Structure 1
Amino acid sequence: MAALEEVDPSAVPEMVAKLRKAFNTGKTRPKQYRLHQLKCLLRMLEEKEDEIATAIYNDLRRSKEESMLGEFFSTKAELVTAINNLDEWMKPEYVKKDMTDMINSIYIQREPLGVVCVISSWNYPIVVLIQPVAAAIAAGNVVLLKPSDVSTHTSNLMMELIPQYLDPECYSVAAGGIPVAQAVLKEKFDHIIYTGSSGVGKIIMKAAAEHLTPVTLEMGGKSPCYVDSSANIKVAGKRIAWGKYLNAGQTCLAPDYVLCQKSVKDDLVASIKTAVKEFYGEDPRTSKSYARVINERHFTRVERLLKDGVTVMGGESDKDDLYIAPTLITDVKNDDAIMEDEIFGPILPIVTVDDLDGAIDYINGKEKPLVLYAFTTNKQVQKLLSTRTSSGGFTVNDVLVQFGVLTLPFGGVGNSGQGAYHGKFGFDTFSHKKACYITTSITEPLMSVRYPPFTTRNLKIASSLIVPKIKRRSYFRKAVMLCFIAVMVAFGLRRLGYSFF
């Protein structure tokens, strides 16, 4: 592992002050400035593709091909989507008006929050760093980037590349370990987004509360995968194996465990075994497509979980190589260590349940997951799983793919996170939605009912103007109201010196 390049923790306050000063000049607000920075990030991914892929490989032993599929393509898609849609996103959003506001201009204007802090994780060190940064730039903010100190090679490379491609006055990298993170969290930001564990998420939320700073937390959790007898078991096994063992299981969206009935279990186990052999060969250790655990500490944590249940596939490990084989475990108990926290490694437990109700009860007995997966062709089963459980997302008959759909929000709920981003949702996350109400003195006769001295007549008029009625198909009432408003406006204009007759 390369030595981590760190900024001096004492320099962090000055970095944040510099960013705030730049933001206050209004430099990041123009659309063309935002577009230029987004295009620079896209150019960085294209021009430095080999260097970035090599850094990721050195951190995770993940092949360039897997990184292209898992990081580069989706990050480029995020950037291109922002570039293509920024003009539309920045336009005022005009809202529905009632009768009394017909001549007023009422809209929502999205404006940048200010100084945004992006604290990323190590498992996908480009996606969870650059995608939130792209959203923050699109919204017109300045950004402090805090890459993970665990993925040292990628962090060091970001320290080098970001100042080359982005405006250094408005975008800074504060790489480093715990002292740097502590220094960062002491500063006041206008928004913090964090990807990682719920334990660290609580620390960040507590620090943000000192400054009343809003936070977006993406924290994963134990995402279940339900499989019933109506599913195509061969396809289910292949897709589950792909999603689970990608990046050696170090994916927050990966299926954490499988729920199925006993009648399905054996066929599903066979299907997953076949898929793993097809993906990684007889010995996954020799496959160029199989990654490694990030470091010794995480290796020890994951290896300890191998003692639970009955291993029906894999189970081999090598500490020197940070290798843990794609592993399948059955007969696990709810109180086993492997069923307590997110596994975040290449071990997949299979839990048997009596029926769908049993599966729903099992899911609801744990913290709300980032995503619930289901393999079933039964529409009623899909509906019951969706409506009787709570999760950040719900995906049927596939895994992970929902992350690539930029018209869907990506985010958790409860213990798996709060807030969301991706596409327009990211732009909105890093924007303040300013309510704008533009009126004129022409409406003064109508508005005068609000002034003292208060009378019963004026209160009745005000009530009719302010309190909406339960909707009915009453075109007559609308016509009367329009006539009333027209008369009042005409009366007001006449008092101002305008004459229509």
Structure 2
Amino acid sequence: MEKSEIIRIRELQEEFFATGRTLKVSNRISALKTLKYSIDRHCDDISRALYEDLGKSDTESYMCEIGMVLHELSYMIKNTPVFAAPKPVFTPVVQFAATSWKKPSPLGTVLIMSPWNYPFLLTMGPLVDALSAGNTAMVKPSAYSPATSKVIKDIIEECFPERYVAVVTGGRAENQYLLDQQFDHIFFTGSKTVGKLVMTKAAEHLTPFILELGGKSPCVVDETANIRLAARRIVFGKLLNCGQTCVAPDYVYCHESIRDELADAIVDEIIRQYTSDPLSNPAYGKIINEKHYNRIMGLIDEEKTIFGGDGDPETRQIEPTVMTDITWDDPVMQEEIFGPLVPIMTFSDTDEAVRVINAHPHPLALYVFTEKKKTARRFMNECQFGGGCINDTIIHLASTSLPFGGVGESGMGSYHGLNGFKAFSHYKGIVDKKTWMDMPIRYQPYGKLTLKLLKMFMH
């Protein structure tokens, strides 16, 4: 898309927002219902596109993308009237007589830039929240998932005029054109490298933004954990979408006394869930492109591999691969893996584990498997991370009641449910001062009792 066309659409959306039509809650609900109906109608098209781009099965596509968007839509359709209503707050006695409230208002025209790994969920999820909050939106899906981007474009164009919601397809040039424009908010999901560019461009216009990035999310397993169940849930979280999940357990960090037992259990679970020949399993996905396939294969150390390690460049599939005796100096620990590799590291005690995790950049997620509540609380309280689970992986992402977002290098800002509504809203603080009384204490000239009275009321 040409830059002039992007500018035209943005100006069109600004004009539409200025009409006030998105302010009416009934109009927002109508838009959300229209989108939900269209997604229901296009479920098969979405599944086919996700299979073409990432090799996702129909079940995984619905469980991890389509179903989650529909759930967010249902939740926001039900709760938007409550979220959008003014919220009364306490009024200090020094402001007597008055009432005070917080009034949520939409930010305006927002830009949503989404990634390729969950191309439908991470495009439509933020869009649902943006529409619930009353914004217009320009949506830029990833060029790496073209089939899904096309379906997204078809659905949005079926539901909305471009003055309300528009899709911009293309690659780096279109990204640059968009970031050169002034939006009222930018929502970006993707890599840290591009996230830094978004921050830089947003700063030029003083545009607020939310960044959902990633990082090396640890999965801690102590000596009290239910090893078999831990292995089952780790394999589920790690191999979902062939490991291409921002909150996947990046590496397993276990107590040294259980390493061999846990490693064997993980291998058993891989075979149980994906068969002994995962590359022939139709429910096992593929790496998004050749570049990422080669990058992930380059992280495999054959001498430390106890299971898997092979790949098929023709199908861009990589076997689930388990590696032991891993240290922080190994290539697999130098970057976020974003693939089906399971490096296993060990610690000797909880103090060491907490210290090591905190010595590295804050991850997007942290998982702890333990039967000790005290141990679980310690990791949850003392480690910095975006969100996580105790005795499970991934599932915190699926709750509309929980904020989802990173901290530090893993991102900033959060969304989902009410937090998503807040992410795309500005809360105005408003005081309604009554006219039937006017306290003279604040006006000059100040009398002898003024300071005494202020200290009494404001202390």
State percent identity of aligned pairs.
38
In the alignment, structure 1 residue 298 sits paired with structure 2 residue 288: no
Answer yes or no: is 1:457 the counterpart of 2:430: no
Could you say if the C-alpha distance between residues 103 and 122 of structure 1 is closer, same or farther in structure 2, counting changes exceeding 3 Å? Answer: same
- Write out per-residue CA displacement over residues 22-64 of structure 1, whole angstroms, 9 at most, x where no aligned residue: 1011111111110111111111211000111101111011111
The CA distance in 1 between the partners of 2:448 and 2:186, in whole Å, is: 50
* Residues 270-312 of structure 1: per-residue CA shift (max 9 Å, x gap): 1111111111111001101100000001111111101276001
CA distance in structure 1 between the aligned counterparts of 2:416 and 2:130, rounded to whole angstroms: 11
Is contact 1:185-1:207 (8 Å) kept?
yes
Measure the CA separation in 1 of the matches of 2:437 and 2:265. Answer: 71
Which residue in the other structure is 1:235 paired with?
229
Measured in 1, the distance between the counterparts of 2:79 and 2:96 equals: 29
What is the CA-CA distance between 1:361 and the residue it aligns to?
1.5
In structure 2, distance between residues paired with 1:255 and 1:131: 22
Quick check: 2:216–2:250 contact (8 Å CA) kept in 1?
yes
Contact 1:236 1:398 in 2 (8 A): yes
Counterpart of 2:428 in structure 1 is 434
Q: In 1, Cα distance between the equivalents of 2:257 and 2:90?
A: 54
Answer yes or no: is the 8 Å Cα contact 2:218–2:250 preserved in 1: yes
* Paired letter, 1:371: A
Is the 2:306–2:323 Cα contact (8 Å) retained in structure 1?
yes
Partner of 1:180: 174
TM-score (norm 1): 0.90
Residue in 2 that maps onto 1:64: 58
Q: Deviations over 1:317-360 (max 9, x none)?
A: 11111011011111112122211211000001000111111111
Q: Is the 8 A contact 2:76 2:129 kept in 1?
A: yes
Q: Please name the residue that 2:242 is paired with.
A: 248
Output the CA distance in 2 between the equivalents of 1:176 and 1:199: 19
Q: What SS class does the counterpart of residue 414 from structure 2 fall into? A: coil
The answer for the alignment partner of 1:388 in structure 2 is: 382
- Which of 344, 347, 353 is the matching residue for 1:359? 353
SS of match in other structure, 2:187: strand
1:374 maps to amino acid: V
Q: CA-to-partner distance for each residue in 1:220-261, whole Å, 9 max, x for gaps?
A: 111000001111100000000010011110000100001112
Which aligned pairs between 1:48-59 and structure 2 lie closer than 5 A?
A: 48-59=42-53
TM alignment of 1:67-86, pairs within 5 A: 67-86=61-80
In structure 1, which of residues 409, 414, 429 is the aligned counterpart of residue 408 of structure 2? Answer: 414
Separation of aligned partners in 1, 2:51 and 2:4: 32
- Range 197-206 or range 331-340, more displaced: 331-340
**SS of corresponding position for 2:111:** strand
Counterparts of 2:403 and 2:248 in 1: how far apart (Å)? 17
Q: Is the 8 A contact 1:333 1:339 kept in 2?
A: yes
Q: Secondary structure of 1:350's partner?
A: strand
Residues 354-395 of structure 1: per-residue CA shift (max 9 Å, x gap): 111111122112100011100001011011111211101131
Which residue is equivalent to 2:163? 169
In the aligned structure 2, how far is the partner of 1:314 from the partner of 1:12?
46
Indicate the SS of the match to 1:363.
helix
* Unaligned runs of at least 5 residues, structure 1: 1-6, 469-501
Q: Answer whether contact 1:309 1:332 (CA < 8 A) is retained.
A: no
Distance 2:219 2:12 in 1: 47
Instruction: Tell me if structure 2 keeps the 8 A contact 1:308–1:337.
Output: no
* Cα deviation 1:160-180 (Å, max 9, x = unaligned): 221111233210111110000
Name the stretch that deviates more: 160-169 or 369-378. 160-169
Q: In the alignment, is the contact (CA less than 8 A) between 1:449 and 1:459 conserved in 2?
A: no
Counterpart position of 1:498: none
Distance 1:278 1:394 in 2: 25
1:231–1:376: 8 Å Cα contact kept in structure 2? yes
Q: Distance in 2 between matches of 1:230 and 1:365?
A: 25
Q: 1:277 aligns with which of 271, 278, 284?
A: 271
Contact 1:117/1:143 (<8 A) preserved: yes
What is the aligned partner in structure 1 of residue 17 from structure 2?
23
Q: 1:116 Cα shift?
A: 0.7
Aligned to 2:190: 196
Root mean square deviation, CA, Å: 1.2
Determine helix, strand or coil for the equivalent of 1:189: coil
- For the pair 1:372 / 2:366, whether they are aligned, the reply is yes
Asked if 1:35 corresponds to 2:29, the answer is yes
How many Å apart are 1:102 and its aligned residue? Answer: 5.3
Partner SS, residue 73 of structure 1: helix
Equivalent pair of 2:187/2:210 in contact (CA under 8 Å):
yes
Confirm whether residue 115 of structure 1 aligns to residue 119 of structure 2: no
Larger displacement relative to structure 2 (158-167 or 53-62): 158-167
Tell me which amino acid in the other structure corresponds to 1:29.
L
Q: Taking structure 2 as the reference length, what is the TM-score of the superposition?
A: 0.98
Q: Is the 8 A contact 2:14 2:109 kept in 1?
A: yes
How far apart are the structure 2 equivalents of 1:170 and 1:115?
A: 9
Cα–Cα, structure 1 residues 308 and 412, in superposed 2: closer, same or farther, change >3 Å? farther
The residue identity in structure 2 corresponding to 1:454 is: Y
Distance change >3 Å, CA 15–CA 238, structure 1 → 2? same
Match of 1:218 in 2: 212
Counterpart of 1:410, as a letter, is F
Distance 1:340 1:308, change over 3 A: farther
> What are structure 2's unaligned runs of at least 5 residues?
none
**Partners of 2:292 and 2:110 in 1: how far apart?**
30
Decide whether aligned partners of structure 1 residues 400 and 101 sit closer, same or farther in structure 2, where only a CA change above 3 A counts: same
Distance in 2 (alpha carbons) for counterparts of 1:12 and 1:156: 18
Report if the CA contact (8 A) 1:308-1:336 is conserved.
Answer: no
